[in-house]
């Protein structure tokens, strides 16, 4: 006959031996879950840091930069070039270089009340919605910019232009002529619609203020740019466009990337992928 004390100890020992593996398994599962969550948080933090400080993706939603950039082009912006901004501040870290004439730049403008009106961010009413634009940098601080009769003048000098003989037809069937323009050391393409002139964008001049930049679209007659709404501060410049990482004939937001219909039906522009966004050197 077993003694009560001994029997009680044996019962306790037996019970402990049966539940210990379950407890260890549960602890291991929790530890594994925590490890996965921590890994995910670190990965997201690294991705956000890269987006904020190194490169940022951008989608071309309009034809204002035709023929250089097409609707449906996706590109990376080089945040290191001008120096990335510290989030929630206007403090910019040192960059690799300053903005230069001819750069294709992604920057922010404001839409007061979320309407059609466009303004520089620093001049817009508080609480205005912001939107990313992409244009070509035409004027740096101190430049005298003038535009008239379809011609662009920088510091009193008319920019050289020449016809290429190449036509361009947009998605609405509108026909343009592709011309080359020399902007300092940057030779780039622009569009010209024969016989068209928008009076609102056809005559004006200004001197670019310190710390600000004058932007124009390469599709000169159909671009809402600094001729209409003024200049942009350095603080609003995200950086120059660096490289195209994708291009297709889809005019939608980033969610269109995940629509399987687009992957089967949309025209893919394979020849544009991994192309650098840059000027040709002026001979």
CA atoms within 13 A on the CB side of 47: 7
Cα angle: 257, vertex 259, 261; to 5 degrees: 120
Q: Which residue's structure tokens are 């603080």?
A: 235
Nearest one of 48, 140, 138 to 97, comparing CA atoms: 140
Nearest one of 161, 154, 163, 256 to 213, comparing CA atoms: 154
Active site residues: 64, 135
**Separation between Cα atoms, residue 169 and residue 224, nearest integer Å:** 20
Q: Which residue's structure tokens are 């089967």?
A: 264
**Contact indicator for 213, 139 with CB cutoff of 8 Å:** yes
**Contact indicator for 159, 253 with CB cutoff of 8 Å:** no
What is the DSSP secondary-structure string of 53-110?
HTEEEEE--SSTTTTTS-TTEEEEEEHHHH-PBPTTS--B---SS---TT-EEEEEEE
Give every CB contact of residue 115 below 8 A, 6+ residues apart in sequence: none
């Amino acid at each position: 006959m077993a003694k009560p004390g001994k029997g009680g100890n044996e019962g306790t020992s037996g019970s402990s031996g049966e539940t210990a593996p379950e407890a260890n398994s549960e602890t291991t599962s929790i530890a594994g879950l925590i490890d996965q969550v921590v890994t995910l948080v670190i990965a997201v933090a690294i991705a956000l840091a890269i987006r904020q400080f190194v490169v940022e993706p951008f989608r071309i939603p309009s034809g204002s930069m035709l023929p250089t950039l097409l609707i449906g082009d996706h590109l990376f912006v080089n945040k290191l070039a001008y120096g990335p901004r510290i989030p929630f501040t206007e403090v910019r870290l040192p960059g690799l270089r300053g903005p230069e004439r001819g750069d294709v730049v992604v920057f922010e403008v404001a839409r007061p009340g979320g309407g059609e009106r466009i303004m520089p961010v620093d001049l817009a009413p508080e609480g205005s919605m912001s939107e990313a634009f992409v244009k070509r940098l035409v004027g740096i601080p101190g430049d005298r910019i003038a535009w008239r009769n379809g011609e662009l003048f920088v510091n009193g000098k008319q920019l050289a232009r020449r016809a290429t003989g190449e036509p361009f037809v947009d998605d609405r069937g509108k026909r343009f002529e592709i011309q080359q323009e020399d902007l300092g050391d940057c030779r780039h393409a622009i569009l010209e619609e024969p016989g068209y002139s928008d009076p609102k964008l056809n005559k004006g001049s200004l001197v670019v203020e310190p710390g600000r930049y004058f932007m124009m679209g390469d599709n000169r007659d159909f671009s809402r740019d600094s001729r209409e709404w003024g200049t942009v501060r350095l603080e609003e410049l995200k950086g120059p466009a660096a490289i195209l990482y994708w291009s297709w004939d889809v005019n939608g937001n980033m969610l269109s990337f995940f629509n399987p219909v687009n992957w089967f039906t949309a025209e893919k522009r394979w020849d544009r992928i991994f192309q650098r966004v840059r000027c040709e050197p002026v001979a």
